[in-house]
Structure 1
């Protein structure tokens, strides 16, 4: 009888040990999943925070660029337009000077005509910088052709342009963003990259519109901090973001630049 009781006691002890082991394993699994889930949630939160911070940087670059553009326009209006009109006004008052001979009147009149013409040309240039008329009248394809022709006319660089996309259904806002992206890239290639050949190609593959931009310039290390913080690239990125697209950019010293971006 004592042997049976002892055996039952040992069975109960084994049972409790097994039960305790299962409970311990269960608690370990719970703790493992809890901390794993917590880590996953933290990673997701950090990722979202990085995305928010990135969006803030893009917004800041847009606002900064807009403010710089306003300052530039204000400076142009003051220096080129306002100053010339002030001189026109002064010359106009000189015409009221008594006893002016014919030669003096002709000289003052010619000054007024020349200054007025310069003011008109400068006002057209400022308006063109804000919104190139060719974009509004004839669309993006014609606007890019005109931009390419302007760069080719310098004889410093040879730019080729090929387009397989119909931009007619795109709103003018998207035309302007794509135009400004190419304008920024072309300026960078010529001024900083010292490129002599540039290729711009628009293609549509499986309903996806994309642009491939290539130059043969001196290139740079696109992993550098200077590139990452560059306002020009931030502006380009913000415009591509507005277009609902993505981009890839590759450049190394002495290997030129290759950029591909898509848009909707």
Structure 2
């Protein structure tokens, strides 16, 4: 009898030990999944925070770019339009005074007409820079061709271009962003890069739009944060982000500049 009770106690002890072990394993698994899930959530939150910070940088860059653009327009209006209107005003007052000889009258009148023509041309140029009519009417390809040709005619830089762009591939707002990128790149090549030659290449490959721009300018050191995050690069980066694309820049001091954008 005692032997039977001893065997039962032994079986109960084994069962209890097994249950305890199972409970310990269950708790261990729960803790493992809890901490694993916690790490995953932390990683996801960290990723989201990085994305939010990146979006903040983009928004800030867009705001800075817009402010710079407003300053430039205000400067153009003040230096160009206002100055010409002052000349017209002064000459109009001379006519109003009436103390002019017939010869002086003709000179003053011709001056007013000439300056008025120049003022209208300046106003058209400012409006053209804000929103090129050719972009709105004919699309990106024609607008980039006109932009490149205008620089070629000015002799500031020689631009080769190969634009295998399917008309209407991007919506008008996206075309405007890409056009602004082209403007920024050419202006940077002329003003900062001191480049004499550059090239623009646009093509469609595997249903992706590939954009490449190169110049033979002075380039810059990519490790220099001042250059890497300068206003021009920030402007380009923000527009590429708005286009949901990605880009790579290849440059070095005295070794030209290249940017590749994939949309």
Matched, 1:232 2:225: no
Unaligned runs of 5+ in 2: none
Indicate the residue corresponding to 1:203 in structure 2. Answer: 203
Deviation at 1:199, TM superposition (A): 2.2
Deviation by residue 1:150-189 (Cα, 9 ceiling, x = unmatched): 3334545432211222224644333322111111112223
Deviation at 1:132, TM superposition (A): 2.1
Deviation at 1:121, TM superposition (A): 2.0
Cα pair distance change 1:203/1:230, threshold 3 Å: same
Counting only pairs closer than 5 Å after superposition, residues 184-203 of structure 1 correspond to structure 2 as 184-203=184-203
Deviation at 1:36, TM superposition (A): 0.9
Deviation at 1:241, TM superposition (A): 2.7
Cα pair distance change 1:213/1:41, threshold 3 Å: same
Q: Which moved more, 1:44-53 or 1:6-15?
A: 6-15
SS at match of 1:194: coil
Q: Which moved more, 1:26-35 or 1:99-108?
A: 99-108
Deviation at 1:4, TM superposition (A): 4.3
Deviation at 1:44, TM superposition (A): 0.8
Deviation by residue 1:20-78 (Cα, 9 ceiling, x = unmatched): 22221221111111011011111111211221221222122222222322232223223
SS at match of 2:54: helix
Indicate the residue corresponding to 1:52 in structure 2. Answer: 52
Partners of 2:34 and 2:221 lie apart in 1 by 43
Q: Which moved more, 1:153-162 or 1:24-33?
A: 153-162
Partners of 1:145 and 1:117 lie apart in 2 by 26
Partners of 2:65 and 2:235 lie apart in 1 by 7
Cα pair distance change 1:85/1:154, threshold 3 Å: closer
Cα pair distance change 1:55/1:6, threshold 3 Å: same
Deviation at 1:211, TM superposition (A): 0.9
SS at match of 2:96: coil
CA RMSD of aligned residues (A): 2.5
Indicate the residue corresponding to 2:92 in structure 1. Answer: 92
For these two proteins, the number of residue pairs brought into alignment is 263
Unaligned runs of 5+ in 1: none
Matched, 1:103 2:103: yes
Deviation by residue 1:203-249 (Cα, 9 ceiling, x = unmatched): 11122222122233333343543245322222212222333333233
- Give the TM-score, by structure 2 length: 0.86
Partners of 1:190 and 1:79 lie apart in 2 by 22
